[in-house]
Amino acid sequence: MEVASTEGGKRRRGMKLWSFHGGIHPPGHKRESTTRPVESAPLPKELVLPMLQHLGAPADPVVKVGDRVLKGETIARPGNFISAPIHASSSGTVVAIEERPVPHPSGLSAPCIVIETDGKEEWHPSREPADHRDLEPAEIRDRVRQAGIVGLGGAGFPSFVKLNPGKTVKTLILNGAECEPYITCDDALMRERPEQVIKGAMVIRRAVQAQHCIIAVEDNKPAAIDTLTQTLRSEGVTDMEVVAVPARYPAGGEKQLIKVLTGKEVPSGGLPIQLGIVCHNVATAAAVFRAVELGEPLISRIVTVSGSAVGGPRNLEALLGTPVPDLLRHCDTDFEGLGELIMGGPMMGVALAHHQVPLIKTGNCLLAVSRSEIEQRPVVRPCIRCGNCAEACPVNLLPQQLYWHAQSKNLDKIQEFDLFDCIECGCCAYVCPSNLPLVHYYRFAKSEIRAQQEKKRKADIARERHQKRLERLEREKAERAARRARKQPVTDESKKAAIQAALERTKAAKKESSPDEV
């Protein structure tokens, strides 16, 4: 398939593109939030920064209650290798380090640092601008790690890990596909700050030493494609390419995008680096640019606020830790008619149990769905075995089989049907004529399996510890017996000897003492 990409109105021969299995064309709903430019959200009175805003281990606080912190100051350090530090999004005072509700489907609370802002927005002096061309790849990675950058597309994997591929990278792909309905934060970024995306791409490219670099954008965002191509030309960048990929959900899925661009499939359970490919989101690239060249850590992000309960949908540049209700209020949300608040898009996002949660690094979209829209949701009916789901699945799985096995909790069987290759994109549930919540079944089965594996791991440790304890008790018993055995023969003979010796001593003493008395 030959697809031409536009370049300043002039059409040129584009690169060859492939296609992935399945996929859907849901209504985009992107226009609502793209009518106005990105706005800065007002500074909130209180910032709530969860210690876990990424995949991996939670961060460990390095500040105390009562400390004054400055904007960009590190307030928590990575808890592990796969982890990320947390920075103060604005200047103020730490008023609490406690459990607060976090944006998570469970509605549970998790440790957070709470900062009362002072309105001064005073920057920490650690900001140190640099030119990425003067930095070694290792120095770039270190700066990205210190800046707490994680994948901003939604998964939140610490980015510095992906900057250290340990293998030759042929292609660097910047993912600007943004295929999910309603979400337009990457679109807004590419249109309004194309130079940050491109410079970020150059920095990442230097870090991974990639030969080739592609910025992939779905062709339903012509303005973003034009702006990026023009910026490339005006900056004189010739070794980077903007590619328009056909709009089809989920073209922005990492493995699907790689298939479209290269025709190669990432193996089951594998990583793109096995094909010599590294993939980063465009917003991550812009954050990398700000971290490396300007020395600014990740303290804010663009978030789309949209949905049927939002009066003025738009993109907001908001500080991390800003309470979500503040953002919703800023966009004229009808709180009375609010039925469901989703973090992420309508396909892959998760419904939040609490509204009083903060914005976190992975929060690309806040979708406020009105109660009337929820009431219109169709009734769930039994599966009629039509097979539409299998046709729609972009990973070529058998969603219906997965559904049956998840329903009957047949956890061994469901893994034989490659449950863990499911990307939870929701195509199967979208096409399901019975409106089954299929993704919910897969998430349920996945978390059950993970819990079982964890249980097994702990049981193995307990078995080993018990075994070691039994061995230790056995050994101690044997040692005690040996000690007794060593003593026993000695006592028998030495007893008599000792008595004899004592008798002789008393006799001698008597002999010595008696002459004096007499």
CA distances from 425 to 231, 278, 428, 488 (A): 32, 21, 8, 76
- Is residue 254 within 8 A of residue 175, CB to CB? The reply is yes
Quick one: 373 or 448, whose CB is closer to another protein?
448
Quick one: 233 or 468, whose CB is closer to another protein?
468
Looking at the chain, the number of H-run helices and the number of E-run strands are 14, 19
Which amino acid, one-letter code, is at 337? G
Rounded Cα gap, residues 115 and 8, in angstroms: 47
Rounded Cα gap, residues 223 and 120, in angstroms: 36
SS3 108: coil
For the chain, the distance separating the N- and C-terminal CA atoms, rounded to the nearest angstrom, is 132
Examine residue 434 and tell whether it contacts another protein (CB under 8 A). yes
Bridge partners (DSSP) of residue 243 are: 216
Q: Which stretch binds another protein (CB under 8 A): 23-31, 76-84, 431-439, 501-509?
A: 431-439
The secondary structure of the chain in percent helix, strand, coil, rounded to multiples of 5, reads: 40, 20, 40
Examine residue 447 and tell whether it contacts another protein (CB under 8 A). yes
Tokens of 404: 């049956």
Give the nearest distance from C-beta 56 to another protein in angstroms.
10
Give the nearest distance from C-beta 338 to another protein in angstroms.
22
Quick one: 386 or 470, whose CB is closer to another protein?
470
Give the nearest distance from C-beta 108 to another protein in angstroms.
5
Give the nearest distance from C-beta 83 to another protein in angstroms.
12
Tokens of 131: 């030119």
Rounded Cα gap, residues 353 and 286, in angstroms: 31
Phi, psi at 16, each rounded to 5°: -70, 135
Examine residue 381 and tell whether it contacts another protein (CB under 8 A). yes
Give the nearest distance from C-beta 463 to another protein in angstroms.
5
Quick one: 167 or 381, whose CB is closer to another protein?
381
Considering only 3, 82, 294, 383, the residue that binds another protein (CB under 8 A) is: 383
Considering only 160, 182, 289, 441, the residue that binds another protein (CB under 8 A) is: 441
Quick one: 50 or 165, whose CB is closer to another protein?
50
Considering only 1, 379, 485, 518, the residue that binds another protein (CB under 8 A) is: 379
CA distances from 53 to 87, 155, 212, 320, 473 (A): 12, 10, 31, 10, 45
* DSSP letter for each residue of 382-442: ------HHHHH-TT---HHHHHHHHHTT-HHHHHHTTGGG-----HHHHH-TT---HHHHH
Q: Which of residues 322-351 bind another protein (CB under 8 A)?
A: none
Which DSSP state fits 331? T
Examine residue 404 and tell whether it contacts another protein (CB under 8 A). no
Give the nearest distance from C-beta 246 to another protein in angstroms.
33
Q: Which of residues 47-106 bind another protein (CB under 8 A)?
A: 52, 102, 104-106
Examine residue 355 and tell whether it contacts another protein (CB under 8 A). no
Examine residue 448 and tell whether it contacts another protein (CB under 8 A). yes
Map residues 260-289 to x or -, x wherever contact with another protein holds by CB under 8 A. ------------------------------
Phi, psi at 349, each rounded to 5°: -70, 170
Rounded Cα gap, residues 485 and 480, in angstroms: 9
Examine residue 502 and tell whether it contacts another protein (CB under 8 A). no
Examine residue 299 and tell whether it contacts another protein (CB under 8 A). no
Tokens of 58: 């939670």
Q: Which of residues 459-478 bind another protein (CB under 8 A)?
A: 459-463, 465-466, 468-470
Q: Which stretch binds another protein (CB under 8 A): 116-124, 368-376, 443-451, 486-494?
A: 443-451
Q: In the chain, what's the furthest Cα-to-Cα distance?
A: 138
Examine residue 443 and tell whether it contacts another protein (CB under 8 A). yes
Show the beta-strand stretches assigned E in 371-490: none
Q: Which stretch binds another protein (CB under 8 A): 134-142, 247-255, 339-347, 439-447?
A: 439-447
Rounded Cα gap, residues 306 and 97, in angstroms: 31
Residues that bind another protein (CB under 8 A): 52, 102, 104-106, 108, 110, 379-383, 407, 434, 436-437, 440-441, 443-444, 446-448, 451, 454-455, 458-463, 465-466, 468-470
